[in-house]
A and B are shown apart, each in its own frame.
Chain A
């Protein structure tokens, strides 16, 4: 039994290594490492530059803003200078204070599109400045703690912006590897007819599925760890990352086999396969924008994979066990479904 399984595993691994799979994976790791390390910025700097002109009676606002740390070069002499500065420097915003100090007329200028959210925040800030100026308080006075904040968990370390993409990339790439490449494998076996030769051997469905799953677990885990190592170095708990990545690849290889069993070749599989893949990438959106987390999204099998990987890479104190439990349960269910579908669609031909 073990001889059969490891024979199959060795065969599948040899086939994987002789395919163009390995060079493609190494190339992708390099591309992503370069992107994360050298292309994406290590910190987001506000791109907007603010210019101010204070044409109120006593120039109180300029004085207040200078007091709060705004640089001298950001204050211009008149409205014309403000307009030309804003026009010349894209992504800059100009603020003109005019009229009486107690009820100033504030004009906001911008040459490029500013989000409504950004504009509202700016307006609210300017209104607060006016209120404080008329009350005779400093701008920053009493503003450090506008409300009480309680942290439910210890505060996570801030994540460098270039690294925030790593969990998403890891989840996406590793799942794609299991889901897509195993389909390519199966279609190759179908077109070569080797699956028919396997079916008249005592190999059996279980060994067929598990050997392929193990191959992709090995390749996917190496690939995933390679990606993390090349982008985040040794600052990650690999003791947790390795089994978690393995579980994720295993789950998606099983799903990949199940889906591929319905199709004859890659061209037939392509559209539904890619659509399914896109659906499975939706949790990455939720990871990037946590406010987008509808309940249906949490039912997608990649959801626990994505969030568990994120938690391992950037620990925030969230308990990992429930996510791993869900992932384990999904993997067992995926295996049972995979055995049924492989038996029905790949191991037998024709109508019953």
Chain B
């Protein structure tokens, strides 16, 4: 169990909080998504949780123990994948993993097996400096798994990856969850969060504005909509209509009665729509 309570963080020392009164809990084996646009404070929270950043105010507890008192045994239990691919460019992919593995006091994974898992087996003995950004991202992800962590911190793990590779990474994350791993996923990609997370928290300007499972958030905040395509004057037109609104319902009837309807699709609200409706900001 991870408990984060009343977390504040001020980089400037002038009372300008990058993170303000953030609280949440994560159960064992849960994938918890931390969503928000760039600069919302996601990485700050993750950095405090992993001990990279000093804890100024609030508390972070792992099974009741404060992050301030955690020593090497804590780092043996966690895996961290960074948003910016931070690897030794002068070392090969294999060397990056095998040297990192030696830092741990717990049994570690076979580096080659991990490289194979993320699709880098063939490039294992190339220097990481010659890797593309996506390859480096996969190497960083593989490194996070080297010590069989029970808690995974993943910061934008699919950023810059092609759909097939992103899908492979998502499968690995699900597999780790099945093995009992707790995952803290930081992203601004709502589709990834929707696919993977048991619960998500929306972070905006350092504060949590909503937190629940993606389904509950959609039920609570989402508006059901219908997308209609119809022909008018020889041209195909499209309308997005929200069934909660009387005016939109009347317009739908009008279109069906008077025009040649080509397609009708019901649309669920996406997490992105909900985030926009809650904060007025897009997730970029």
**A residues with CB within 8 A of B:** 3-4, 6-8, 10-11, 14-15, 18-19, 192-194, 196-204, 348-352
Contact A200 B51 (CB under 8 A): yes
CB–CB A10/B10 < 8 A = no
Contact A15 B90 (CB under 8 A): yes
Contact A11 B86 (CB under 8 A): no
Question: B9's closest neighbor in chain A, by CB?
Answer: A350
Say yes or no for B25: interface residue by CB 8 A criterion.
no
- Residues on A with C-beta less than 8 A from B53 are 348-350
B54 at the A interface (CB under 8 A):
yes
A209 to chain B, nearest CB (A): 15
Q: How far is the CB of B85 from chain A (nearest CB, A)?
A: 8
Contact of B87 (CB < 8 Å), options: A10, A194, A349: A194
Is the Cβ of B90 less than 8 Å from the Cβ of A19? yes
Q: Is the CB of A4 within 8 A of B102?
A: yes
Say whether B54 contacts A202, CB under 8 Å: no
Q: How far is the CA of A193 from the CA of B137 in the complex (A)?
A: 13
Taken together as a complex, chains A and B put the C-alpha atoms of A200 and B144 apart, in Å, by 10
* A14/B95 contact (C-beta < 8 A), A4-B102, A194-B86, A197-B100 known: yes
What separation, in Å, do the CA atoms of A306 and B14 have in the docked complex? Answer: 48
Q: Residues of A contacting B103 with CB < 8 Å? A: 4, 7-8, 198, 201-203
B100 lies within 8 A of A201 (CB) = yes
**Are A350 and B11 within 8 A (Cβ)?**
yes
Contacting residues, chain B, for A193 (C-beta < 8 A): 82, 84-86
Chain B residues with CB under 8 Å of A192's CB are 86-89
CB neighbours of A204 from chain B (8 A): 72
Asked if residues B72 and A199 are in contact (CB atoms below 8 Å), the reply is no
Q: Which residues of B contact A202 (CB under 8 A)?
A: 71-73, 75-76, 103-105
Q: In the complex, A194 Cα to B103 Cα: how many Å? A: 13
Q: Decide if B150 is an interface residue (CB 8 Å cutoff).
A: no
Chain A residue with minimal CB distance to B88? A194
Q: Complex Cα distance A137/B136, Å?
A: 91
Interface centre among A3, A8, A198, A350 (most CB of B within 10 A): A350
Q: Report the bound CA distance from A15 to B54 in whole Å.
A: 30
Chain B positions within 8 Å of A8 at CB level: 99, 102-103
Interface residues of B in 71-115 (CB under 8 A from A): 71-73, 75-76, 78, 80, 82, 84-91, 95, 99-105
Closest to A203 in B: B103
- How far, in angstroms, from A110 to B155 measured CA to CA in the complex? 79
B contacts with A, residue count (CB < 8 A): 37
Could you tell me the distance in whole angstroms from the C-beta of B118 to the nearest C-beta in chain A?
16
Q: Let me know if B50 is at the binding interface, CB within 8 A.
A: yes
Check A197–B75 contact: CB distance below 8 A: no
Task: Kindly state whether residue B56 has any CB partner on chain A within 8 Å.
Answer: yes
Q: Is the CB–CB distance between B52 and A196 below 8 Å?
A: yes
Give bound CA distance, A6 to B11, whole Å: 36
CB distance from B86 to the nearest CB of A (A): 3
Residue in B closest to A15 when the chains form the complex, CB atoms: B90
Beta-carbon contact of A197 and B52 below 8 Å:
no
Question: With contacts A4-B103, A18-B90 known, what are 7 further pairs, Cβ within 8 A?
Answer: A11-B88, A194-B88, A197-B100, A201-B75, A348-B52, A350-B11, A351-B11
CB distance from A219 to the nearest CB of B (A): 16
Q: Which residues of A contact B100 (CB under 8 A)?
A: 197, 201
CA distance A200 to B100 in the complex (A): 11
9 nearest A-B residue pairs (beta carbon): A7-B102, A193-B86, A202-B72, A11-B99, A202-B75, A201-B103, A200-B80, A18-B90, A352-B54
Q: What chain B residues lie within 8 Å of A349 (beta carbons)? A: 47, 52-54
Tell which of B10, B54, B102 has the most Cβ of chain A within 10 Å. B102
Q: Does B42 contact A (CB under 8 A)?
A: no
B13→A351 contact, CB < 8 A = yes
Give every chain A residue within 8 A of B140 (Cβ-Cβ). 197
Given A8-B102, A203-B103, A350:B95 Cβ within 8 A: no
Taking the closest CB of chain A, its distance from the CB of B11, in whole angstroms, is 6
Chain B residue with the shortest CB-CB distance to A12: B99
Which B-chain residue is minimally distant from A5 (CB atoms)? Answer: B102
Q: Does B143 contact A (CB under 8 A)?
A: yes
Bound Cα distance from A198 to B104, whole angstroms: 11
Chain B residues with CB under 8 Å of A194's CB are: 86-88
Give bound CA distance, A15 to B85, whole Å.
Answer: 18
**Closest B-chain residue to A198, C-beta based?**
B103
B86 touches A197 (CB 8 A): yes
Contact status B102-A3, CB under 8 Å: yes
Closest chain B residue, CB of each to CB of A202? B72
Chain A contacts for B9, CB-based, 8 A: 350
Q: Which residue of B lies closest to A193 (CB)?
A: B86
B54→A350 contact, CB < 8 A: yes
Q: Which chain A residues border B143 with CB–CB below 8 Å?
A: 197
Query: How far, in angstroms, from A198 to B143 measured CA to CA in the complex?
Result: 11
**Is there an interface contact between A14 and B75, defined as CB atoms closer than 8 Å?**
no
Cβ of A196: which chain B residues have Cβ within 8 Å of it?
52, 82, 86
A200 & B78 in contact (Cβ 8 Å cutoff): yes
* Chain B residues with CB below 8 A from A14, complex form: 90-91, 95
Partner of B99, one of A7, A18, A199, A348: A7
Cβ distance B202 to chain A, nearest Cβ, rounded Å:
24
In the bound complex, do residue B82 and residue A197 qualify as a contact, i.e. CB atoms below 8 Å apart? yes
6 A/B residue pairs, CB under 8 Å, sorted by A: A14-B90, A196-B82, A202-B103, A349-B52, A350-B54, A351-B56
